[in-house]
């Protein structure tokens, strides 16, 4: 009996560790992009970019470890499938944080002052979507009955992000910026918006997992 509990504890501990690494990646991402918007690609931003990369790599390593453990430690196939599907979708968010940070570092995307506040708002909305879905994930492990109620706020944030993205992209392409800058900014905006899209996907999965456990 204790063997089964030990297995469960090991998997749970690894999953918690994974989420902490993902949280770190997103927290650093928020700080990093704000730093970039304030001071451009300075030395502080590069240090933060490295921390984002380290947290994302750690999350990836943990994800592989969890996959191996779930396949070798005899969880029921459906529980295994639910958890792995959830984690794989969730992992897109730290991946996006790293991709955006890498893009800013390598391409040094120029952000005109007129767009900085809107981009900061977009970052806020998307990081908030991440945090909301993160709380919902916690509920799946602590109070699965309340998961359904937690999905709606994530959807709302995703819609808010979509509207902001559309507004910014329209303004960018109506501006006098050169074509290359317009495309860079559009790509940056879309990548940031992808975070809330992923959060919405994860929320949908959480709702399905919770419903599947209702008989």
Partner 1 sequence: MWQLVSGAYLGWALGANDASNVFGTAVASRMLRFWTAALLCCVFLFLGAMIGGAEGMHTYNSLSKTTLNTAFITGLVAALTVTVMTWRQLPVSTSQAVVGALIAVGLFYGKLELGVLGKVVACWVGTPIGAMLAAVIFYLVVGKIFNLLSLNVFQYDFVVRWALVLAGSYGAYALGANNVANVTGSFVGEGMLTARQACFVGALSICLGVVTFSRGVMMTVGRGLVKLDAYTAFIVILAEAVTVHIYAMVGVPVSTSQAVVGAVLGIGFVKGVRTVNRRVLFNIVLAWILTPIIAFTVTYAVCYLGTELGWL
| Residues contributing to the site for partner 1 (CB under 8 A) | 4-5, 8, 11-12, 74-79, 82-83, 140-145, 209, 212-215
Among all chains, which residue has been given the structure tokens 């996907």?
Answer: 201
Give the residue with the Cβ less far from partner 1, 11 or 52. Answer: 11
Give the residue with the Cβ less far from partner 1, 52 or 140. Answer: 140
Min CB(22)–partner 1 separation in Å: 18
Q: CA Rg, the chain, in Å? A: 19
Instruction: Identify the three-state secondary structure at position 74.
Output: coil
Give the residue with the Cβ less far from partner 1, 82 or 105. Answer: 82
Min CB(6)–partner 1 separation in Å: 12
Instruction: Identify the three-state secondary structure at position 93.
Output: helix
DSSP state of 52: H
Tokens of 61: 């390593």
Give the residue with the Cβ less far from partner 1, 76 or 180. Answer: 76
Min CB(147)–partner 1 separation in Å: 10
Min CB(8)–partner 1 separation in Å: 5
Distance of CA 107 to the CA centre of its chain: 22
Residue 5 burial by Cβ neighbours in a 10 Å radius (0-12, 13-18, 19+): exposed
């Amino acid at each position: 009996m204790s063997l089964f509990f030990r297995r469960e504890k090991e998997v749970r501990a690894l999953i918690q560790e994974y989420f902490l690494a993902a949280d770190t990646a997103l927290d650093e991402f928020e700080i990093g992009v704000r730093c970039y918007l304030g001071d451009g690609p300075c030395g502080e931003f590069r240090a933060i970019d490295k921390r984002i990369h380290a947290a994302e790599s750690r999350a990836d390593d943990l994800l592989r470890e969890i996959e191996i453990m779930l396949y070798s430690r005899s969880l029921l196939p459906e529980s295994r499938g639910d958890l792995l599907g959830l984690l794989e979708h969730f992992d897109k968010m730290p991946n996006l944080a790293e991709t955006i940070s890498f893009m800013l570092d390598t391409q040094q995307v120029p952000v005109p002052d007129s767009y900085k506040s809107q981009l900061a708002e977009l970052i806020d909305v998307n990081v908030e979507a991440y945090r909301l879905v993160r709380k919902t994930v916690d509920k799946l492990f602590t109070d699965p009955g309340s998961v359904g109620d937690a999905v709606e706020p994530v959807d709302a944030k995703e819609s808010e992000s979509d509207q902001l993205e559309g507004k910014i992209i329209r303004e960018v392409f109506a501006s006098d910026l050169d074509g290359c800058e317009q495309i860079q900014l559009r790509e940056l905006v879309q990548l940031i918006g992808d975070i809330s899209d992923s959060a919405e996907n994860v929320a949908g999965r959480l709702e399905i997992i919770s419903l599947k456990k209702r008989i």
